[in-house]
Structures are given as structure tokens and as C-alpha cells.
Amino acid sequence: MELPYAEPYKIKMVEQIKRSTKEQRLKWIKQAHYNLFNLSSDKVFIDLLTDSGTGAMSDKQWAEMMVGDESYAGSLSFKKLKKTVKKITGFKYFLPTHQGRAAENVLFSALVKQGNIIPGNSHFDTTKGHIEFRKATAVDCTIDEAFDTSIIHPFKGNVDLNKLEKVFKKYPKEKIPFVIVTITCNSAGGQPVSIQNIKEVSKLCKEYEILLYFDAARFAENAYFIKKRELGYQDKTIKEIAKEFFSYGDGMTMSAKKDGLVNMGGFIALNSKEVFKQATVFNIMFEGFITYGGMNGRDMGALAVGLNESTEFNYLESRVEQVAYLGNKLVEFGVPVQQPFGGHAIFLDANKFVPTIPREEYRAQALAIELYIVGGIRSVEIGTVLADRDPVTRENRYPELELVRLAIPRRTYTNNHMDYIAATLKNIYDTRKDAKSGYVIVEEAPIMRHFTAKYKKI
Ligand code: F0G
């Protein structure tokens, strides 16, 4: 008999999670104004809101916490982290920040001006938020295949070179401070970008004298997909692959809460001394002195260890294949999900799941709420609510995809939890024809409304 797959770790500490009844959840979600962000965590059984900062650290990371150096300046934990970032990314300069959006804030303060254009594959919402906050425009140049959830394409996060070149031709280079490529592409469904594509984007950027930055929150998962799917990379290590794709760019922002395997943290790494100098000023102003940038010494130490662990094949195999385990169960039940499966999450296609709910009534949000009510599972809407209003017309923007994201925290849940999630969704899917109406927003913030919006059931 062929031996089945088993995780390359065992559990040293457990955290209790609470079950609840459907009646309780109906009451709680109403009290939360039907916004899943408003639920307290003890009212959630399985929390798939995000894979950001919600994973489990290893014994070696916890050990590193104990020797964290909390010195304001010249912390030894900073030195450990700086050395590791250099080793893994190859970038010369490094600035710690308290999380990914802080890295965006610091770097964009140095580089983005009013009226600028920042092309890339689908920008994550905080990235777009930081661009639009500066009255600049993010242009999505993702390949068209990404917007059809049933097309099988190995690298749906790829940048469409024709779309990118059109932007380069339309605007003078002074208006385009950089291109940002998000690896893996969260907003396109956790889909990877191929090395071939990164190389071609890099070549085009050089031709037009435009910088190339990575939003590298899930770079290790991206490297895993390259190893599994791209010709010529099967025999390379994850660390070799990451080093190679980073070599085609000028720098990166990082939310360490993902592939840094820590609960809080981020950084900027780049090659230009000039940009580093400019960013340093904003880092000190917004984040803290350059040897801590909003992070504790112990967290910088844990991040140094985390970056080494997340770029190990065995860890990535258990991580990405657990996500696929859930995806395969859902496919077996006929539930419409984005394919191929993303690295950190499974995305339900709400347009196919509940087409009976009008788009104006936020069908993906309605599905996410149902998943909570039926199973106590917290997910997140990646659809019209997240797409927010057009900054000029203030009309709702209707994205091509209406998704519900089931983000799987790293090293946190077992495959029994995956079975429970799949069964809950099967039950909802079997009764989908009863879903006729959704929600209206009764209160919302002017930017990034999804975090605090209040809804009413129609
Ligand atoms: N870039 C990407 C691709 C992200 O997914 C995130 C966060 C950020 C930047 C911002 O980083 O949260 O550390 O400030 N994504 C989380 C998520 C919130 O749930 O996908 P942050």
C-alpha cells in the first residue's frame, strides 16, 4: 500500500475553539450589523477571515522570542533579520515596518505623487488604498484568464505584457514611478506569477526605464508553485527560486504576517541607495527608528527564523496541499471554486454559487454571512464591497469576480477542520435556490469600507 501524506510537524500546544448553535449565530451576526469583521473571535468556530498573522509559530521561533534584543538602536535581533532578508531576497537595503501596509505607506510616501500611474497585476486593497490616497491611479494589467474561475492556467497572477506596454506608451515615464507585481496575486485569487513573466515584465520595465517592485507577502508560496509548475525549476530549491525572481526587481514591500510566519511585522527591501535614504525619513517619522521600525526585537528575531522556515519545501508542501485538499473536496461536491486553487485560500465563485441574489445586493457578502450562520465559519467577501466606490464618481465598482475567500491560516487547522468546512458548504450549496435576496449597506467609510460597513438584510 502506498503511504498517505502526513504533515512534517507534530503539535506541542493547543488552543480551544468554541462551538455554538445556529440560533446563537443568527443573533450574533445581526448584532454585528452583518459585518463579519465585527464578530468577536469567541463567536467563531473556524476562522478563515485571513491567513494574515493568524498562523502558528514553530518552537524555534518561540525560542528566538526569548533572546530578542529590545534595544532602541542597534538591536541584535535587527541584525539577524537584516542578514536573513539579504540572504533570501538579495536586496541590499532593508527597513523594518510594523506590517505590510506600513511598508507601502513608507515606500509610497517616497515614490508616489498626485496624478501618478502605478500598473501591476491586481493590486491588493491596502496597496490600492495607499495609491488612491495619494490621488494616484492603480492600473490592473492582470491576464484575462484570471477573471474566469473555470479556466485552468498555471500562472493566473501573470501580468499581461500588452496591457502593461499600453500603459507605458500612454503615459510619460515620469508619471509611472514603478510597476508593482504582487506574488502571489491575492486579489486574483492567490494565484502565482511565473518566473518567465517576471523576467519579461522586468525587461519591459528596463526598456522604458521604470522601476519594478514586488508586493512579496506570499513570495514563498509563489516560489513553490514555480517549482511545481514551471519548466526548468523542478530541481531548484525554494530559496534559489525566490532569489532568482527577486533579482529581476528593484525592491519589495513585505507583509511578514504571511510568508514571514509571524503574527505582526513587515519590511521594505530594495537596491537603490537614493530611494532607501528617502524612505528612511518616512520610516523614522511613521514607524520608528530604522533598527526596529515598529517591531519588537523578539518579533524581528522570530521573523528571521520564520523566513527561513517558510522557504523550506516540506513546510510549503504541507501548507499549499492542505489548501488544495479543501479545494478538491469542494470540487467533488460540485461547489463552484476558482481553479486552479490559490496558495493561501480557496475562493468561492459567488456569481455561480448564488446568481439568484442581485449583484447590487452584495451576493458574495450574503454567501459569507450564510457560511457563518450555518457552520460558524468566518470567511471574507472579495467582491463589490471590497472593490469600493469609484473615487471620482462615488458609484459602486462591480468587479468581474464576486468571490468569498476561505483563507487558511498556516500550520493552524487540521484536515478534519477542512472536512467540516467542505460539508458546511455542501449543505449550503444544496439549498442555494432558496437564496433570493441579499443586503443593503446602511453605513460605510469613505475608503476601505469593508472593515466597518454596516448592513441590513433585505
Ligand atoms: N499585500 C498583500 C498581497 C496582502 O495580502 C496584504 C494583506 C497586504 C499587502 C497588507 O499587509 O495586512 O500586513 O498590512 N493581506 C491581508 C489579507 C490583510 O487578509 O489578505 P498588512
Angle formed at CA 189 by CA 244 and CA 211, multiple of 5 degrees:
40
User: Ligand 1 within 6 A of 97 CB?
Assistant: no
Establish if 11 belongs to a structural domain: no
- pLDDT computed for residue 419 by the predictor: 98
- pLDDT computed for residue 401 by the predictor: 85
- pLDDT computed for residue 333 by the predictor: 98
User: Ligand 1 within 6 A of 101 CB?
Assistant: yes
- pLDDT computed for residue 189 by the predictor: 85
Q: Choose one of 310, 332, 366: the last residue of a domain.
A: 310
Identify the active-site residue in 140, 215, 299, 388: 215
Residue 4 has φ and ψ, to the nearest 5°, of: -75, 165
Establish if 332 belongs to a structural domain: yes
Q: Which CATH number belongs to the domain containing residue 102 in this structure?
A: 3.40.640.10
Identify the active-site residue in 138, 217, 220, 242: 217
376 in the same domain as 247: no
- pLDDT computed for residue 372 by the predictor: 98
> Distance, CA 381 to ligand 1 centroid (Å)?
14
Tally of domains in the chain: 2
266 CA closest ligand 1 atom index: 13
Identify the active-site residue in 82, 123, 227, 258: 258
126 in the same domain as 266: yes
Establish if 15 belongs to a structural domain: no
Identify the active-site residue in 47, 125, 160, 259: 125
Establish if 3 belongs to a structural domain: no
294 in the same domain as 175: yes
- pLDDT computed for residue 300 by the predictor: 98
256 CA closest ligand 1 atom index: 13
> What residues pair up with 249 in beta bridges, in sequence order?
none
> Distance, CA 339 to ligand 1 centroid (Å)?
22
Q: Considering all CA atoms of the chain, what is the largest pairwise distance in Å, rounded to the nearest integer?
A: 63
User: Ligand 1 within 6 A of 215 CB?
Assistant: yes
Residue 346 has φ and ψ, to the nearest 5°, of: -105, 135
The cell numbers describing 293, all together, are: 521600525
First CA to last CA across the chain, in angstroms?
54
E-assigned strand segments in 50-145: 93-97, 117-120, 137-140
- pLDDT computed for residue 236 by the predictor: 98
Q: Answer yes or no: 434 catalytic.
A: no
Q: Answer yes or no: 217 catalytic.
A: yes
Q: Choose one of 259, 282, 310: the last residue of a domain.
A: 310
Q: Which CATH number belongs to the domain containing residue 370 in this structure?
A: 3.90.1150.10
| Residue-number span of the structural domain to which 104 is assigned | 59-310
Of the candidates 375, 415, 422, which has an alpha carbon nearest to the alpha carbon of residue 46? 375
User: Ligand 1 within 6 A of 280 CB?
Assistant: no
305 in the same domain as 318: no
> What residues pair up with 123 in beta bridges, in sequence order?
none
User: Ligand 1 within 6 A of 217 CB?
Assistant: yes
379 in the same domain as 232: no
Write out the chain's pLDDT in tens, 458 residues.
999 999 999 999 999 999 999 999 999 999 999 999 999 999 999 999 999 999 999 999 999 999 999 999 999 999 999 999 999 999 999 999 999 999 999 999 999 999 999 999 999 989 999 999 999 999 999 999 998 878 899 999 999 999 999 999 999 999 999 999 999 999 888 999 999 999 999 999 999 999 999 999 999 999 999 999 999 999 999 999 999 999 999 999 999 999 999 999 999 999 999 999 999 999 999 999 999 999 999 999 999 999 999 999 999 999 999 999 999 999 999 999 999 999 999 999 999 999 999 999 999 999 999 999 999 999 999 999 998 898 889 999 998 889 999 999 999 999 999 999 999 999 999 999 889 899 999 999 998 899 999 999 99
- At a CB cut-off of 8 Å and minimum separation 6, what does 87 contact? none
> Distance, CA 217 to ligand 1 centroid (Å)?
7
406 in the same domain as 378: yes
- pLDDT computed for residue 368 by the predictor: 98
Establish if 392 belongs to a structural domain: yes
Q: Which residue has the cell 449597506?
A: 441
User: Ligand 1 within 6 A of 100 CB?
Assistant: yes
User: Ligand 1 within 6 A of 124 CB?
Assistant: yes
Q: Which residue has the cell 513546510?
A: 315
> Distance, CA 256 to ligand 1 centroid (Å)?
9
Q: Which residue has the cell 501596509?
A: 101
362 in the same domain as 300: no
285 in the same domain as 382: no
Q: Answer yes or no: 108 catalytic.
A: no
Three-state helix/strand/coil letters over 316-349: HHHHHHHHHHHHHHHHHCCCCECCCCCCCEEEEE
Establish if 303 belongs to a structural domain: yes
366 in the same domain as 296: no
> Distance, CA 126 to ligand 1 centroid (Å)?
7
Establish if 224 belongs to a structural domain: yes
Contact 430, 448 (CB under 8 A): no
164 in the same domain as 39: no
Establish if 16 belongs to a structural domain: no
Q: Answer yes or no: 258 catalytic.
A: yes
Q: Choose one of 288, 310, 332: the last residue of a domain.
A: 310
191 in the same domain as 147: yes
303 in the same domain as 178: yes
User: Ligand 1 within 6 A of 379 CB?
Assistant: no
